[in-house]
Amino acid sequence: MTSPARKTERRPGPPEAGDTSTGPEQGEGAPGVEHARVDDAETPGEQTLSFPAIRDDASGAPDSEGSGDRVREVSLPEPVSEGLTAALRQLGEAVTDLHFGLDVPGADEARKAQLAVLAQLKDYVIPRVHMSTAPALIVIAGSTGAGKSTLVNTLAAQSVSATGVRRPTTSTPVLACHPDDHGWFAKGDLLGGLTRLEKPIDGKATESIVVVPTERLPQGVALLDTPDIDSVVEVHSEIAHRMLDAADLWVFVTTASRYADAPSWGLLRLAKERGARLVIVLSRVPIKSREVIVKHFGRMLDEYGLADVERFVINETKVVDGRMTDDDVVDLRMWLADLSVDEQRRAQAIQSTLNGVFNSFRSRVPALARHLETQVALRADLRSDVDAAFMGAIAEIDEATRNGSLLRGEVLARWQDFAGSGDLMRSLSLRKSKAQPQGPERLRALKAALRAGLESVITSSALRASEEVVARWRQRAGAGDRLAATPGLGRPSEELVRRAARAISGWQDHVSELIRTEGVTKRSVAKVVTFDVDSLSLIFMVGLLGYGTTELSPSRKTGSGGALPQRLLRGLLGAESLRSISAKARSDLRARIGLIFDDETLRYVDALDAAGIPDEAAATRLYQATYNLEVAR
């Protein structure tokens, strides 16, 4: 990847014609810059990085002549302005689209990792890529009571950060910088998501940062005092890690009595994982045991693979007004001065950390994708539970409409009344006879009983399916338990009965239409016999629903020699026509029931959707965004 020092073009010397800046010192690295933006240039394929007006004073106020927002444009190389910018934008959008809605193991960690990646892109990576000449941001980090604020105050030569015995002391990050660099941090895009304050304000610790100018810090470097990484207040620890993600260099501060603690090594491990440029400060070291402590700490660092990390040792000393003496930090002050004047060294340090962040995306982003795939797979399992339960209900209804079990109770009584009273035979008549079918009341009663029987089978099967879905989901610990507790999922919807009634009524009308349009009687019968369509359609339904297939069939008890509806229908319609109508009627019934159950399953799909799980394509977009970023680098 191109060094940050070469991402923007320095323009020393007088401005060219048409340049609205007021002097050579107001180039892209000058103080007072509010933010950077990428604008389309006139040259095709080239973009420019535009900086707002440079202010004459450190506060960033407009100059006395009211020059307004004068802009100076500095060309960026095409790979930066187009390729890398597009890749970073794509990565940000892909990570933003993630939703880890199911409470499965690791979900909380994935959500935090997602927020960390987004914050780092916004607070550090994108601004740093486009403002490579901004001062280096050095974060001062460490565990509780390590003396971070004391160190910052000493180097700044003024009390910029609160100190004391109360823990936690620092709740709002404090950034100290040279007055000439104040504009970069007071209005720049680095840590752009945080509100700038002149002093800490209660209740704004999580989304704010205090920016303090001080003459004693060299130009080109800024110190950032953070809350404790192991703070008992969780939000403070989160702030500390966000500041680490936005820094160019990490200064890890620990003490002679705390350097072996787990939080200290947790931060060092994180620095290794992120590839951050690291400096270690061992403070409060007793003079008498300095040699022993330094050697032991050095061996631990060597064993951990940090033998080459630059280190500073501060002896145990007296702290007055939150500060040590200048003699205590002379080596650190010289290190800051060297970093300030050596642009190449500073650029290399920034580049090292930036590359480390890019490298960390190789593992951090795919880890998010893998967790997303786990959520998607669990969603698929939960959805399959719904499909299996309602497919089982459809199979149950299909069996009930074949084996004759539905023709019991009220339906059986109405059929016997219709058939035994003579109405069945009267529904058929000789063509030369003037006899008319009788018993419309019995006909309506049989039709209503058949409709009620089918509706009852549908509602009872839907109830069992709903209960089965909830039972299956409860067996899936975590996410399944929570979703199963959604009100109403353990029973059918209130609309089911109405939908079932409408569907069965429509099916009965469809069967009558099939008999009317396709039920052409056999030629030899049609010459002498006519029939009532409504009556024959009911006879057909009774036969279709399995009349005569069980021991309860009255036809077997009356000695009729078989199921009357089937014999009658074959005689009137013929076997081939009967088979065709039966297949169409049964297919239509199944389709209507399927539509009812589709509406029922939507309630469970809505519950899954409410959990916020994206589709499988989201994971693919993450992998693609990671690959595109590698190519753009």
Q: What is the pLDDT of residues 538-578, one digit of tens each?
A: 888 888 888 765 544 444 443 333 456 777 777 677 788 88
Q: What would the two tokens of residue 406 be?
A: 């539905």
Phi and psi at residue 253, in whole multiples of 5°?
-110, 125
**Residue 26: CA atoms inside 13 Å, Cβ hemisphere, count?**
25
Q: Which residues contact 253 (CB under 8 A, 6 or more apart)?
A: 140, 141, 142, 146, 147, 148, 151, 281, 283
Residue 128 above 70 pLDDT?
A: yes
| Structure token digits, residue 593 | 């029931």
Instruction: Please state which of the ranges 291-300, 381-390, 529-538 shows the lowest mean pLDDT.
Output: 529-538
pLDDT at 313 > cutoff 80 = yes
Amino acid identity, position 38:
V
Which residue has 């890690």 as its token pair? 241
**Lowest-pLDDT choice from 65-69, 348-352, 367-371, 556-560:** 65-69
Instruction: Report, as an integer, the average pLDDT of 390-416.
Output: 88
In the chain, the domains with their CATH numbers are: 4-76 (no CATH), 131-341 (3.40.50.300), 401-613 (no CATH)
**Residue 75 belongs to what H/E stretch?**
strand 72-76
Burial of 33 (0-12, 13-18, 19+ CB in 10 A): buried
CA atoms within 13 A on the CB side of 406: 27
Whether the link from the prior residue into 168 is cis, omega within 30° of 0, is yes
Q: Is 625 strand, coil or helix?
A: helix
Whether the model pTM is above 0.75 = no
By the 8 A CB rule, do 346 and 277 touch?
A: no
DSSP strand E in 214-248: where?
Answer: 221-225
* pLDDT more than 90, % of the chain: 34
Residue type, position 294, single letter: V
Pairing outcome for strands 72-76 and 47-51: antiparallel
* d(C-alpha 575, C-alpha 612), whole Å: 54
> How distant, in Å, are the alpha carbons of 92, 239, 269 from that of 273?
21, 19, 6
More confident residue, 341 or 426: 341
User: What single DSSP character describes residue 6?
Assistant: G
Are 134 and 29 contacting, i.e. CB atoms less than 8 angstroms apart?
yes
Higher pLDDT, 376 or 432: 376
With a cut of 80, say whether residue 494 has pLDDT above it: yes
Q: Distance between CA atoms of 31 and 592, rounded to whole angstroms?
A: 73
Cβ(348)–Cβ(268) below 8 Å: no
